[in-house]
Structure 1
Amino acid sequence: MRWKRTMQLLDVHAEGEIGKVAIGGVPKIPGATTAEKLAWLNSDPKGQELRRFLCLEPRGNPIGSVNLLLPPTHPEADAAFVILQPDQAHASSGSNSICVTTALLEAGIVEMQEPETIVTLETAAGLVRAKATCRDGRCERVELTMVPSFVHELDVSLDTRWGTISLDLAYGGVFYALVDVDQIGLTIEKHNAAALVAAGMELKAAINQAYPVVHPEIPAVSGVAYVMFRSVDPDGAVRTCTTMWPGRADRSPCGTGNSANLATLYARGKVAKGDVFTSRSIIGSEFRVGLKEVTSVGNRPAVIPTISGRGFTFGQQTVALDPFDPLAGGFAMTDVWGPSAGDIKG
């Protein structure tokens, strides 16, 4: 073969959301910390080239993420990882943390202990503790202790084509804008996915222009990454739809989004330490969300969330770069990727 680069990916999904895990062939990423590696991936042309190689066509597709397994820099961590998506590299994700934990254990990279294995993951947002329930060589369920989550601002007003809407800005590993879905005249159901995504992309652009946000302790984490629509089902479960660039809906209930939402619920006095509730995705899959501890980030009150869900492996592949391929740099088209794909160069 005349391939210039090859990487081995393990196919995993967490409650429907695909999070492929690069378990072989990952190049050395510059940076003394995972946060610095994240910043390099988002700023250096070689980092952007790697993201395009993995996330865009012909090797990638608009659904899911690719997780780069990296050597940990924190002494307590078993592994580090950064999440690659078509728009940029991201700091943290609940569904991807479940996918990475499942991959580490079922691929034998971290030794599985039954009935429970503790895996410490290093992300650019901090350490995530994963408690994996294991049986017969399989990772059955993963409970994550997430990074501290906090409210940036509640009840922010934004003038939109739907009128003036109210939203919350909160951090759950990345920054979210949290919007009650009835304000845009929709419900969180599969047949509304395209309309929800279109609204989310429009709102995200307007929110980032009007309300810049930066993590008070991690400057590499800035800007609203996602708009998450929310509602409450008749049984009390929180129904969510996180909208992701360039135009798709998260298939899982969204771990970092629920962490951010948990911070808003705590700020409003609707949950207390020890509470656990169900969050349901647009396809009906579920996470269990808990409030483990109360803490602070800088001078902001914060919560330590737990997110519990299931990961499943479903394949393995080798992706390769042919140096003679004129489309090797990756591309995306609006017919599949959505209208925002027109912003992708190449």
Structure 2
Amino acid sequence: MKVEKAYTAIDVHVAGEAFRIIKDAPFIHYSSLEQLDEQFPRVYEEVINLLLNEPRGFAGLNGCLVVPPFSRDADAAVVFFNHGGTVPLQYGGIVAVITALLETGQLSEKESNHYKIETVSGVIPVTAVMENDEVVLVKLENEPCQVVETNVSFSHSELSQYSLVQADQLYAIFDKGSVPFEIRVEDLSELRNWGKSINKEFSKLSIKVTPVLLDRTSLNTGVIKTVTLRGDNFIVRSPGFGATAACYTSLLSKDLLSIDQPLENESIFNSKLKAELTKQIESSYQFTFTCRAFITGMQTYVLDPTDPLAAGFLLK
């Protein structure tokens, strides 16, 4: 085997969502994190294909490039990316990165347990608690969320009503009571067909919206179950930080949940994210998330110049 290029990465999952963390990407010149983010899809196109595409990756894999921070207050800086290019902020990625840096010794543990990660969306404070050299608890706050519109319907469609909520992106929250299937792996085919129909309707409106199906039958115990569909009809593997915040905001705005009631969101395969209301300013809500990440592997990925699948492929 000939090795043309090699990249070392740490794989981490956060509530089932996979992140691949890279520290040794090729050097390029940049004077700010924003400039690196802007250049990234073009300059690192080959790296994205090599590390995220199959046969080394898969359609739901997220990437994180860790670099030295520009801000004096930050402990590290991160550029988030996926198959489509860079992403301004991924809360799950923050959890993955702080866990990987601390558990591999690339970042020294602080007595305060308080750290800061620089992103193009700003410096994100995060609390990470370690026990026996392992990160056992991570807490962070999201940006304020608010309901944009309720009881929205598609024109000339039998699909159910939804609420629009602005969180890290715009979410459309649908009630599970309007569909004849459950949020479970056994009903995966029905869930995907439903998501395709919803995304088709939103494509007609020419707006970028992320659909979330919400099951609140166990809300009296502070538990909900959701499934989130991306625009490419790919099901998000975790409950999702943004989706959880959007659902929490929608429930609070409808007085279906007490403001002092923490919320636990379960995914289609029962991974969980916990959130509690931190701050309310008029119609905006801000939440604190509590979760944990797990390192699943440390690998060196290589490119053989004779490999006919050097650019990889994606099956969705």
Provide TM-score, normalisation by structure 1. 0.79
Match of 2:246 in 1: 260
Unaligned runs of 5+ in 1: 213-222, 338-346
Match of 2:54 in 1: 57
1:239–1:324: structure 2 CA closer, same or farther, 3 Å change rule? same
Match of 2:291 in 1: 309
Question: What's the offset of the Cα at 1:60?
Answer: 1.1
Question: What's the offset of the Cα at 1:176?
Answer: 2.2
Output one character per residue of 1:178-198: Cα deviation in whole Å (capped at 9) or x when no partner. 222333332211112233234
Contact 2:14–2:292 at 8 Å: present in 1 too? yes
- Is residue 2:142 matched to residue 1:146? yes
Amino acid at match of 2:237: R
State how 1:188-207 maps to structure 2 within 5 Å: 188-207=183-202
Match of 1:6 in 2: 6
1:295–1:250: structure 2 CA closer, same or farther, 3 Å change rule? same
Partner SS state of residue 306, structure 1: strand
Question: What's the offset of the Cα at 1:249?
Answer: 2.6
Larger-gyration structure (1/2): 2
Q: Please, which of 256, 259, 267 is the counterpart of residue 281 of structure 1?
A: 267
Contact 2:148–2:166 at 8 Å: present in 1 too? yes
Match of 2:23 in 1: 23
1:148–1:70: structure 2 CA closer, same or farther, 3 Å change rule? farther
Contact 1:106–1:137 at 8 Å: present in 2 too? yes
Identity %: 24
1:103–1:184: structure 2 CA closer, same or farther, 3 Å change rule? same
Partner SS state of residue 249, structure 1: coil
Partner SS state of residue 77, structure 1: coil
Contact 1:145–1:307 at 8 Å: present in 2 too? yes
Partner SS state of residue 304, structure 1: strand
Match of 1:169 in 2: 164
Provide TM-score, normalisation by structure 2. 0.86
Amino acid at match of 1:292: T
- Is residue 2:88 matched to residue 1:91? yes
- Is residue 2:277 matched to residue 1:291? yes
1:210–1:245: structure 2 CA closer, same or farther, 3 Å change rule? closer
Q: Distance in 2 between matches of 1:236 and 1:266?
A: 12
Q: Distance in 2 between matches of 1:83 and 1:29?
A: 18
1:93–1:185: structure 2 CA closer, same or farther, 3 Å change rule? farther
- Is residue 2:224 matched to residue 1:228? no
Q: Distance in 1 between matches of 2:205 and 2:36?
A: 28
Aligned-residue CA RMSD in angstroms? 2.8
Q: Please, which of 223, 227, 240 is the counterpart of residue 237 of structure 1?
A: 223
